[in-house]
Amino acid sequence: MGGVVDFDDTSTLATWLDDVGYETAFVGKYLNNYGEYEPLLVPPGWDDWHASVGNGDYDHGWVFENGVVNAYDDIYATDLARDIAVEAIERHVSSTAPFFLWASFYAPHSGTPDEPDDPVGGLSTPAVAPRHHDAYAGTPLPKDPSFNEADVSDKPAFVRDRHRISPTTEANLTELYQQRLEALLALDEAVVQMTDALEAAGELENTIIVFTSDNGYMLGEHRIHAGKTVAYEPSARVPLIVAGPGFPPGVTRSQPVALIDLAPTFVEAARATAGLEIDGTSLRPIARKPAIGANRTLVIEAGPEEVDGPWLYRGIRTREYVYLEYEATGEVEYYDMVRDPYQLVNLAYQPDSRTQRKLDLLSARLDVMYDCAGAACRR
């Protein structure tokens, strides 16, 4: 099943930070299926807990707050999470103890209530705060060269079997894109108010702030719409913005990094000790020196849909290439990300002998890395 049911929360970043004296707070969406099973519990290590019970409703909700389920009506979900997060900041920064906050906003996930301008045909969208409705009306749908890809004969079957995107579907995708942008405006306001609270308390310059997401989203690339569990760049890549002590301002780094690097970054900054082997590495050295980690290889993967089921895909990613294996079908993809950043030409499709040797080497590297742990993942 996965999600909260199968997650062992006895040793996490929260417990590691709590062990060295941090006050820890969580606000928003926790793991999938949280709140669907009784009893509701506050996971170990969290001192201040405000987790959504069920997800998908933007106009009302229930929040499990330090042992009590509270109902909230007539407040937009993003604004509710913002208010709780700001209040947590204002309350905890007055303490002499260091403070860690994880604010997990639901936007721009699709959700209810339905709106008059929602696209027809089953394509779901987020609900937008009334003050932001139609703020991006007329904004065109981005179309990179992979949009509605003409020739997908070299792609796996799940792409080959897709029809070209029709004008009607493209119009629906455009509306979805606009509503996703509009839903993010409330999140933008939340970030501003949270940083304002830190600044008012005199702690902004002493705080590491990380903005990221757990997945990207497909909007017609390679004929795929409304998808987030595929290995193509719009889905696999996520934003990552970091500010604070140890991170030089105003610079962009291109080394490969992943969400597995967040925990070691926080552990290092807090001078804590991880209770588990950490596969990632701190982002602070990477941010300071562009050469560090430049040749790094990362594992990318999705699935299984059920515990012990087949993985949707597993692969490796560097700055130069992406290599993917699909366990259920045996299909392979390989892209030169320097020459082909939009992943139009699958070099694993009918490879020549030289390319086949590369594929064999990449497959062997993936075999070593896909179940690595600790330092072995960082070599």
User: What does the pLDDT read at residue 61?
Assistant: 84
Long-range contact pairs involving 155-162 (C-beta distance under 8 Å, separation at least 24): 155/222, 155/333, 155/346, 156/326, 156/329, 156/331, 156/333, 157/329, 157/331, 159/222, 159/223, 159/224, 162/223, 162/224
User: What does the pLDDT read at residue 180?
Assistant: 97
User: What does the pLDDT read at residue 79?
Assistant: 97
pLDDT in tens, 204-213: 999 999 999 9
pLDDT in tens, 294-306: 999 999 999 887 7
User: What does the pLDDT read at residue 3?
Assistant: 79
What mean pLDDT do residues 144-154 have? 98
Residues 228 and 154 sit within 8 Å (Cβ to Cβ):
no
pLDDT in tens, 228-283: 889 999 999 999 999 999 999 999 999 999 999 999 999 999 999 999 999 999 99
Which domains are present in the chain? 3-297 (3.40.720.10), 298-379 (3.30.1120.10)
Residue closest to 97 by CA, chosen among 19, 204, 197: 19
pTM for the whole thing? Answer: 0.94
Residue closest to 222 by CA, chosen among 210, 214, 234: 234
Query: For residue 308, what pLDDT band results from cuts at 50, 70 and 90?
Result: confident
Cα-atom radius of gyration of the chain, to the nearest Å? 22
Burial state string for 243-281 with b = 16 or more CB within 10 A and e = fewer than 16:
beeebeeeeebebbbbeebbbbbbbbbbebebeeebbbb
pLDDT in tens, 211-242: 999 999 999 999 998 888 899 999 999 999 99
What mean pLDDT do residues 68-80 have? 94
Q: For the chain, what is the mean pLDDT?
A: 94
